[in-house]
Amino acid sequence: MESIGIIVAFWALAVTTVGAALGVLVSRNLLHAIFFLITSFLGMAGLFITLSADFIAAAQVLIYAGAISVLLVFAMMLTPLASRDNANSLYLAPGALAGLGLAAIVGFVAVDTPWAELAGSTLAERSFPDTVRTIGAQLIGRYVLAFELASVLLLFALIGAVVLVHDRAAERGAAAAAEEAGTGPREEAT
Amino acid sequence: MRDILGHSLNFQYELLLPEIIIAITATLVVGADAFRNELRLGRRILPWLSVIGLVAALVVSLLWIDTQRNFARLITIDNYTTFFRVLFTATAIVVIVGSHEYVERHIGHIGEFYALILLSTVGAIYMAAARDLLTAYVAIEVLSFSLYVAVSLARNDPRSGEAALKYTLLGGVASAMLLYGLSLLYGVAGSTQYTEISGALAAGTGGMTLPLILGLVLIVAGLGFKASAVPFHMYTPDAYEGAPLPITAYISATSKAAVLALFLRWFSGPLLPALPDWQWMVALIAVLTMGLGNLVALQQRNIKRLLAYSSIGQVGYMLMAITTVSVVSASALLLHIGGYLVTNLAVFMAVIAFYNRTGTEEISGFRGLAQTNPYLALVITAGMFSLGGMPLLAGFLTKFILFTAAADGGFLWLATFAVIMSTVSLYYYLQVIKQMYLYQPDGDARRWRLSPTGYLTTAVLLAGTVVLGVYATPLYTLADRATRVLFV
């Protein structure tokens, strides 16, 4: 972090990200909260760019700011009573206190530590042309196992999501209809 | 292929064969369930298919006894891995065989039930086998995600959805804490590889003690949640109560053993150089877990909640072995995990058989079981006594070795506390036994029989409980061989 541009960008993005995140908590209207969340996601993507992590920044915009926020809006609009007040404030004071305490600890540790980071000439020697190629090669090369494991995980997360929202009344109705037709497999005799 | 530090990487996929078999079986089970009508498959095909896959995986995993190899420096195949491969596949087999009748009656999505058990077994194995923080994390998530969904599978039980929601939300927070702790550890050690981390920490952290401690706090909290250690246990009783019984059994067995396996792998390997920084944390959590788990169990009326708190207490004993990490306490821990799994599954399989007949989970419902089904009462009694640590049963011997190891490791006060709490635990185990033997049955006093698979699983587990209590040398030898590779 040498050049003035990066420093200005960092602080601007940091303020955007944290401010928007606070907005998510403070806003009473769920839709406003979602828009604050999107702003926070975009600020985060900007922070990734200042770290030369272009692929992660793009993924952040596409997946979080794009897909997930659209999903959230849909979920909110399709849920009855979603527009009611989004929180009670019973634990506001202890929650804020605990949050501030935690932030203070983490902040102190992060600032106080002499991190072994690249700086000065060693940083300048590294070139970061693009990270997509490297990440892609690592994912299906070096870390192929974690990649495969994650893909199995996602498959079953998908199945799990279907199972969770599956309308059981409809299933029972279908089973009863199938039984009437004489093809109900789950009800066959032992 | 070489990694960034110049280590050569081998991609011998045959080393992963057991997990590949299990994962393929899981997808086959889902597929067979989806097309059951079209293919005209009987309803018993799914448990059969699952068990065949698991047995194949178990047999294949025996190929690598006494080898020391790794897959791309991400997964280690050594005796420790083999021990847990066998343990977890065997647990899954027992749960599936012992619960298929329950599943047909009380589970809404049968194919998904078996597939999720299979998949979570893969996650559990990789938690014990990983040698890279990220792989371990993905494995934890595979296990957790499968269980989040599995908890919600009970049909017509509103508690199930509530349990799943609590488990998922709190589990997500715990995962986030763990991940943040791991990122701090990476910042300090500069690598995600266990071997590199242990080297970096042994060489000194260079003024980075604070982030290391913060990272350790978060890691212990995250793992403590997954193992349901106090004070991160809040979700456990609700999740146990709401989940279908076989899933409760599975969580209390595989999920706990997997987290303890990961705990041991981390704290005896990469994190061992930081021993002074984390020993007190784990000791503190162990004391709280033993104390609160056993004391709150005294007031439970529901058998699932009782077993939930009892399993929390058991985790406290196991964490004690982590505190005094050494070759002796590590093998004692593995022995205790083995004994606990056998005993706990015996109790759960008996409770499942009981539930299939009576449909009640209340402890008072066990009234007069000694008259209506003396065999089942015997199994539950043996299991409860073993969990409480009565001599001649598995629980006594494994606890004895575990407590001795802790006392020898310089934590006599911890071992003393464990003995006291173990005595307390006998009280609530005896409550269940009292209901079965000292009271008359409430309504129907006719004798009833278990199903053949019910007899099979409970008999095998009962035999295991008794044999381990008298002659545990073979298991102890295996545990010893498995843990030798941890301390090199």
Chain A touched by B385 (CB under 8 Å):
no
Q: Print pLDDT tens along chain A (190 aa).
A: 568 888 999 999 999 999 999 998 888 788 888 999 999 999 999 999 988 888 999 999 999 999 999 998 888 888 777 666 655 667 888 888 998 999 999 999 988 888 877 666 666 666 666 788 888 888 888 888 989 999 999 998 898 888 888 765 555 555 555 555 544 444 433 3
Note which residues in 128-187 of chain B have CB less than 8 A from chain A: 132, 134-135, 138-139, 141-142, 145-146, 148-149, 152-153, 155, 164, 184, 187
DSSP A48-86: HHHTT-HHHHHHIIIIIIIIIHHHHHHHHHHSTTTTS--
Backbone angles phi, psi at B78, to 5 degrees: -135, -170
**Cα–Cα dist B119/B25, whole Å:** 9
* Burial (CB count within 10 angstroms: exposed 0-12, middle 13-18, buried 19+), residue A153: buried
CB A57 within 8 A of CB A45: yes
Q: At what angle do helices B158-189 and B133-151 cross, to 10 degrees?
A: 170
Note whether residue B8 is domain-resident. no
Residues in chain A: 190
Supply the ipTM of this predicted assembly.
Answer: 0.84
* Parent domain of B109: 13-487
Chain A touched by B36 (CB under 8 Å):
yes
Note whether residue B4 is domain-resident. no
pLDDT of B433-458, one tens digit each?
Answer: 999 999 988 877 888 999 999 999 99
Chain B touched by A112 (CB under 8 Å):
yes
What separation in angstroms does the CA of A67 have from each of A33, A100, B437? Answer: 16, 31, 60
Judging contacts by C-beta atoms under 8 Å, the chain A residues touching residue B126 are 149
Note whether residue B2 is domain-resident. no
The amino acid at B317? Y
Note whether residue B111 is domain-resident. yes
Backbone angles phi, psi at B107, to 5 degrees: -110, 135
Residue B27 belongs to what H/E stretch? helix B17-34
| Structure token digits, residue B107 | 């589970």
What separation in angstroms does the CA of A60 have from each of A45, A48, B309? Answer: 6, 9, 41
Judging contacts by C-beta atoms under 8 Å, the chain A residues touching residue B146 are 156, 160
Q: How many CB atoms lie within 10 A of CB B39?
A: 10
Q: How many CB atoms lie within 10 A of CB A80?
A: 6
Which runs of E-coded beta strand occur in B59-194?
A: 69-71, 75-77
B300 Cβ neighbours under 8 A, 6+ residues apart: B306, B309, B363, B428
Residue B244 gets the label, from left (phi > 0), alpha (psi -120 to 50) or beta, of beta
- Rg (Cα) of chain B, in Å, rounded? 22
Note whether residue B3 is domain-resident. no
Overall domain count for chain B: 1
3-state DSSP: chain B helix, strand, coil percent, rounded to 5?
80, 5, 20
Note whether residue B480 is domain-resident. yes
pLDDT of A138-168, one tens digit each?
Answer: 888 888 898 999 999 999 889 888 888 876 5
Note whether residue B1 is domain-resident. no
Under DSSP, is residue B199 helix (H, G, I), strand (E, B) or coil?
helix
A185 Cβ neighbours under 8 A, 6+ residues apart: A178, B36, B37, B41, B43
**Cα–Cα dist A179/B133, whole Å:** 51
Which runs of E-coded beta strand occur in B220-280?
A: none
pLDDT of B130-174, one tens digit each?
Answer: 999 999 999 999 999 999 999 988 877 888 888 999 999 999 999
**Cα–Cα dist B270/B268, whole Å:** 7
CB B261 within 8 A of CB B82: no
Give chain B's end-to-end CA distance (angstroms, integer).
26
**Cα–Cα dist A10/B478, whole Å:** 55
Mutate to test the interface with B, among A51, A117, A142, A187 (most CBs of B within 10 A): A142
Report CB contact under 8 Å: A163, B164: no
